[in-house]
Amino acid sequence: MPEFPDYDPSIADAAAGYRDETGIGAFLGITTDEVGPGTMCCSVIVRDDLLNPFGLMHGGVVSALCDHMLGAVCFPVIPRGTWSATQEFKLNLLAPVRDGLVQADARIMSMSKRVVVVRIDVTNRNDDGPSRLVALAQGTVSLQTPRV
């Protein structure tokens, strides 16, 4: 795992427990559960309005959750004023989600001054048993510094 000399615990602390009040994060109900140096855990409760006509969570929900996390996991470890932008990501949908809680765990795998590579493991937990892996994502994030 890379080192994070710019890690700011106050940003991580502010993010933990955070829920967007507007935009796609609010619509999906993404909650930031835990944040650490180069790591982040977010979750979404599976609701009827997030299911497709076959009763399964739409893959776009998982995709949007991963895209959200690709940038968000970077904020506690980048210099203030810098912002992150997803450049690309690959998503493997491994198993269907019908109900319960979807949890995504992001980890920064590589980081330079301009590029971050993030891996995300997505699991589903319901009352029927243990969590199971339902998706894997890996993406590249560009770091942008303010222009003066």
The string of pLDDT tens digits covering residues 31-60 is: 999 999 999 999 999 999 999 999 999 999
**Nearest Cα residue to 99 out of 70, 132, 67:** 132
Tens digits of residue pLDDT in 58-85: 999 999 999 999 999 999 999 989 999 9
Confidence (pLDDT) at 29 = 95
CB 111 within 8 A of CB 4: yes
What domains sit in the chain, N to C, each tagged with a CATH number? 9-144 (3.10.129.10)
Confidence (pLDDT) at 17 = 78
Tokens linked to 147: 């222009």
∠ CA 65-69-72, rounded to 5°? 140
Q: What is the pLDDT averaged over residues 112-124?
A: 97
